Amino acid sequence: MEQKFIRTHFVEMNLGDMIEQLGEDVTKSILSSFSCPVNRDIENFIKERAIEFSKRTTAKTHLVFWQTEDEKEIELVGYYTITSKVITVDRKVLSKTEAKRLRSQGIYDEEKQEYIVSAPLIAQLGKNYAGGNDTLISGSELLQLAVDKVRKIQREIGGRFMYLECEDKEKLLDFYYRSNFKFFGKRKLDRDETGIEGDYLIQLFAMF
């Protein structure tokens, strides 16, 4: 019997645009199916806070769908959220080239030997484990979509540094190191940051 090969691709949708096109109720019902048992913070954010954050323009969420070319099948496979923050980066963790690049983007504090920069933060990133949808995308594909989005924004406004923060877990750190992110510090959790394991987050950056 002849096997038919169906081409698939990923489609991204800005959460704000989705609300505009489909309305808040339909959007909420799509998000309600999202499941992330390995990281409840990722699940709770998309279900309870992403819409509010998008509306307040605090942080913008992008949903990633897997779709067949004939558009007959579409599945929510993950999401990422981007915002912009001011951070400090210790000179010691940077190579000569990285320091040179960062110098043109931020302020250098001679006394503390650190850079103060405004930079895009990939604030959330996770696959949707509901119904086995996590098998339709790899973590590196999802991260690449987030990185590509940041780079697209930076092509318009400048900058080449981006960062993210994650729990101090070997599997997560290995994942980001494999994707060329580098350690640059630890940040103590704010009091309102609940649902995260430990009392600090590891900060990782990438520069292009």
Ligand X SMILES: CC(C)(COP(=O)(O)OP(=O)(O)OC[C@H]1O[C@@H](n2cnc3c(N)ncnc32)[C@H](O)[C@@H]1OP(=O)(O)O)[C@@H](O)C(=O)NCCC(=O)NCCS
Cβ closest to ligand X, residue 19 vs residue 172: 172
- Of 67, 169, 173, 189, the residue at the interface with ligand X (CB under 6 A) is 169
- Of 67, 88, 160, 175, the residue at the interface with ligand X (CB under 6 A) is 175
Query: Could you tell me whether strands 200-207 and 182-188 are parallel, antiparallel, or unpaired per DSSP bridges?
Result: antiparallel
Which structure tokens are listed for 23?
A: 């309305």
Distances (CA, A) of 90 to 42, 93, 167, 182, 205: 28, 6, 20, 13, 12
CB of 82 to ligand X, least distance (A): 13
Distances (CA, A) of 80 to 3, 60, 88, 180, 181: 35, 8, 23, 18, 16
Residue appearing with tokens 């959790």 = 189
Question: How many CB atoms lie under 10 A from the CB of residue 2?
Answer: 4
User: One symbol per residue from 80 to 109: x for binding ligand X (CB under 6 A), - otherwise; what is it?
Assistant: ------------------------------
CB of 46 to ligand X, least distance (A): 11
User: One symbol per residue from 132 to 151: x for binding ligand X (CB under 6 A), - otherwise; what is it?
Assistant: --x---xxx-x---------
Helices 139-157, 170-178: inter-axial angle, 10-degree rounding: 50
Q: Total residues at the site for ligand X (CB under 6 A)?
A: 17
Q: By the 8 A CB rule, do 84 and 32 touch? A: no
Q: Which amino acid is at 148?
A: D
Assess 171 for contact with ligand X (CB under 6 A): yes
CB of 122 to ligand X, least distance (A): 8
Helix (H, G, I), strand (E, B) or coil at 120: strand
**Segment 47-86, which members bind ligand X (CB under 6 A)?**
none
Assess 35 for contact with ligand X (CB under 6 A): no
The contact set with ligand X (CB under 6 A) reads 36, 38-39, 42, 125-127, 134, 138-140, 142, 166, 169, 171-172, 175
